[in-house]
A and B are shown apart, each in its own frame.
Chain A
Amino acid sequence: MSPDDPGHDLDEAIAGFRTVVGYKVRRALGAWNPEWEDVTNEILAQAVAKVRSGEFRGESSIGTFIFTITRRRIADYIRDKSRVLRHAPEPPPSPGPEALADRQERARRLTAAVRKLKPKYRDILYLYHFQGLSREETARKLGLTPIQVSDRASYARKLLRRLLGPSFFPSGKAGGD
């Protein structure tokens, strides 16, 4: 289609949602499920088709429109999968050797970075991000207010970001890896 086609801009806008759709799909299907990419592609293709057929009339934002398609597709996937699994249970997908090596390397780099932090930042990362305590539980354990927990955790993440560089955080980047 030509760049003058009014649909062209919307197609481009939809392509820009690949990262966020992919993130939501992986979260729902499991990080190591190899089908996440196909499901993501289907969602984006559906969105394009619906826009072309005039189903998107701008009553909601394009983000909400794509979110709705994403939710429905994930619900269908999970329903179909549980039907299949009842007959032939399969083990949850696990990372391949390359992904494992990558994960080990990331763990090594992160460990080195965490060890450079002051104890108060290590403690907050440990309780709030590693153990996954709620903000309130973390606050109680450290004798802080919940706001102070947020602020300190945010600063600890900023320090890690500085030590590790942006390449350490691939999920939010457009175009994946």
Chain B
Amino acid sequence: MAKCVFEDRIGAYLKGELPPEEEARFEEHYFNCPACFRETAERSDLEEALRSAGEAAFRARPQVRLRPGWVYAAAAAVAAAAVILSLPSSPPKPSPFQFPADEIVRGPELAVVGPAGTLAAPPEGLEWRPVAGAAVYRLALTFEGEAIWTAETADQTIALPAEVRSRLVEGRTYVWRVRAYAAEGRRIGVSEPTAFRVGR
């Protein structure tokens, strides 16, 4: 099929890079050129789907899958024990990233899969059960109430960047939590704080 001279405008049009008159000229063109319209519409669909898939679509899945036996109840029990062990003796300093204990949760609880408990090596990633209606999940990994890493994804798993893994210190207890948000920004689920410790 012969290439339309307008075809190389499609990318810039969808990114909103064309000046207004050129944008109108390109729109007038695709009202007259079915090939350019089809290509424009298809790329819009693709870019929209990529945005809702989020960063996670581009990361390889965590190489080491979390142990299949991790279920919510077990993980939560271990987590609860670990959280008590890790409570600092001095009152925690307030932090914008801290999770208030009395946080009101609307909708279903978010069940974590793992990691939780004592691990032989820094975890490859975090995993949880999907929540119906969730458009995005926000993660926070904390040490003594301070966030050391936050991220968001549309997926139910997220890889821990190598840089973050390398910062995890053996013997320390880290707590992570995930929250689910609907597309309009309303929070629809939050997990229990889930603790893990690397080594020893």
Contact = CB atoms under 8 A, between A and B. Distances in A.
Interface of A: 17, 19-20, 23-24, 27, 31, 61, 63-64, 66-67, 70-71, 91, 94-95, 97, 100-101, 103-104, 106-108, 110-111, 114-115, 122, 125-126, 128-130, 132, 134-135, 150, 153, 157, 160-161, 168-172
Contacts of A114: 50, 53, 57-58
Contact of B27 (A24, A129, A130, A157): A24
Contacts of A17: 31
Contacts of A97: 133
B52 interface: yes
Nearest to B58: A126
B41 A111 contact: no
A47 B58 CA distance: 44
A64 B32 contact: yes
Interface in B165-200: 182-184
A169 B54 contact: no
Contact of A129 (B50, B52, B54, B134): B50
Given A23-B44, A108-B53, A111-B53, 20 more contacts: A23-B40, A71-B27, A94-B182, A95-B183, A101-B133, A104-B52, A104-B135, A104-B154, A106-B49, A107-B49, A107-B57, A128-B11, A129-B50, A130-B57, A132-B47, A134-B17, A150-B11, A157-B42, A161-B42, A172-B45
A96 B42 CA distance: 23
Contacts of A61: 32
29 contacts: A19-B41, A20-B30, A23-B41, A24-B31, A63-B28, A63-B31, A67-B28, A94-B183, A100-B135, A100-B183, A104-B52, A104-B130, A104-B134, A107-B49, A107-B52, A107-B53, A107-B154, A110-B57, A114-B50, A114-B53, A125-B58, A130-B47, A134-B12, A134-B15, A135-B12, A157-B42, A169-B46, A170-B45, A172-B41
B45 A91 contact: no
B50 A64 contact: no
Given A100-B133, A132-B15, A172-B42, A64 B28 contact: yes
B48 interface: yes
Contacts of B45: 168-172
B38 interface: yes
Contacts of A111: 53, 56-57, 155
Interface of B: 8, 11-12, 15, 17, 24, 27-28, 30-32, 37-58, 60-61, 130, 132-135, 154-155, 182-184
Contacts of B37: 19-20, 23, 172
Nearest to A122: B58
Contacts of B154: 104, 107
A148 B71 CA distance: 47
A61 B32 CA distance: 8
Most buried by A among B38, B48, B58: B58
B31 A103 contact: no
Q: For the complex of A and B, list the 6 residue pairs with the smallest distance between their C-beta atoms, beginning with the closest.
A: A172-B41, A63-B32, A94-B184, A171-B41, A107-B53, A67-B31
Given A111-B57, A160-B46, A170-B45, A130 B31 contact: no
